[in-house]
């Protein structure tokens, strides 16, 4: 497809999600090439971004996950180089990568989130008091990691102390959220449309890295088992959350229910996984879009 010109599929990079990114990038690259797109893999960890210009690339499909690829850094570089790219811009990516700031934006927009606190590395904190304040069981997350890296649950002082130490290995800030006991959903956004919700079901305590990429018993339900009214409400909530953080092109919003069945926004993913186990392709398939059609649609939404 000559309309796209020479396309670089950015994959790999330096983040903790490098291996997942390489798998996403390989799948995207194969799909584009199968549709006649002049696409080539490009790993910023192995070659400078300036080579995009010297090698004549006219467009970039970003399949980089985590820091350096999903936080606005590469988006800013591509804007400077005047190369159109897929997905959200600098602001949207920078905001969505930071779970703490994302939650504050959503709160300011009146969107539902779980009760939480932020603990900085080396900060003196009353661990027992924090645990009690948030209901006795919590989820701890590094502020700026994806793929559930560095996450852990805690329901005792010792567990929370350990979970904070683990999260602080990855980030100066740890987000401590009240535990959500209800079902977990994810909603993909493509253009200005929310795709069908997927309900996640895992035998693990929560949907962690192993459940995402290694387990064989994780179940994905699409349709999610919601009535039409609930499905529409969840899709609208996800789209509102995506817009609130400046999302564009495509992305994914993760949502979970509390014990009373109320939706609570978890996080925004501006460069979701595109591996064989990934969720956006699964949601797209439910609408009749093949993986190849999905990838081309994402590429068509690219801009500088």
Residue numbers annotated as active site: 17, 147, 278
- What are the structure tokens assigned to 3, written together? 């309309």
Residue 133 annotated as lining a ligand binding site: no
Cβ neighbors of 158 (< 8 A, separation 6 or more) are none
Whole-number Cα distances in Å, 275 to 2, 150, 174, 213: 26, 21, 28, 9
Sign of the alpha-carbon torsion through 239, 140, 104, 63: negative
In angstroms, the CA 297 to CA 254 distance is 22
Structure tokens at 300: 């068509």
DSSP code of 3? G
Q: Tokens representing 127?
A: 């661990």
DSSP 133-173: HTTS-EEEEETT--TTTT-EEESSHHHHHHHHHHHHTT-SE
The CA distance from 141 to 170, in Å, is 9
- Tell me if 172 is assigned to a ligand binding site: no
Here the tokens at position 153 are: 């649950």
> Has 269 been labeled as part of a binding site?
yes
Q: Which of 41, 54, 44, 56 is nearest to 5 (CA)?
A: 56
Q: Which residues are annotated as a binding site for Mg(2+)?
A: 254, 267, 269
Residue numbering of the annotated binding site: 254, 267, 269
């Amino acid at each position: 497809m000559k309309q796209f010109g020479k396309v670089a599929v950015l994959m790999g990079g330096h983040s903790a999600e490098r291996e997942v990114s390489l798998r996403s990038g390989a799948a995207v690259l194969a799909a584009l090439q199968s549709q006649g797109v002049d696409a080539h893999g490009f790993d910023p960890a192995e070659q400078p971004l300036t080579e995009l210009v010297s090698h004549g690339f006219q467009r970039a499909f970003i399949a980089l996950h985590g820091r350096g690829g999903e936080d606005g850094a590469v988006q800013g570089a591509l804007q400077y180089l005047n190369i159109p790219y897929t997905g959200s811009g600098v602001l949207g990516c920078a905001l969505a990568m930071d779970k703490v700031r994302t939650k504050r934006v959503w709160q300011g927009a009146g969107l539902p989130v779980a009760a939480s606190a932020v603990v900085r590395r080396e900060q003196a904190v009353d661990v027992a008091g924090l645990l009690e304040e948030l209901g006795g069981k919590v989820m701890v997350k590094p502020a700026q990691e994806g793929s559930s890296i560095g996450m852990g649950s805690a329901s005792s002082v010792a567990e929370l102390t350990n979970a904070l130490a683990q999260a602080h290995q990855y980030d100066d800030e740890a987000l401590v959220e009240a535990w959500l006991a209800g079902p977990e959903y994810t909603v993909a956004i493509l253009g200005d449309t929310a795709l069908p919700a997927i309900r996640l079901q895992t035998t693990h305590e929560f949907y962690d890295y192993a459940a995402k990429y290694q387990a064989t018993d994780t179940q994905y339900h699409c349709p999610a088992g919601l009535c039409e009214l609930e499905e529409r409400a969840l899709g609208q909530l996800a789209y509102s959350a995506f817009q609130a953080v400046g999302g564009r092109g495509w992305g994914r919003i993760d949502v979970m229910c509390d014990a009373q069945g109320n939706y609570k926004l978890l996080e925004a993913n501006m460069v979701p996984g595109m591996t064989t186990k990934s969720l956006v392709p699964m949601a797209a398939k439910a609408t009749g879009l093949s993986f190849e059609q999905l990838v081309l649609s994402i590429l068509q939404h690219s801009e500088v």
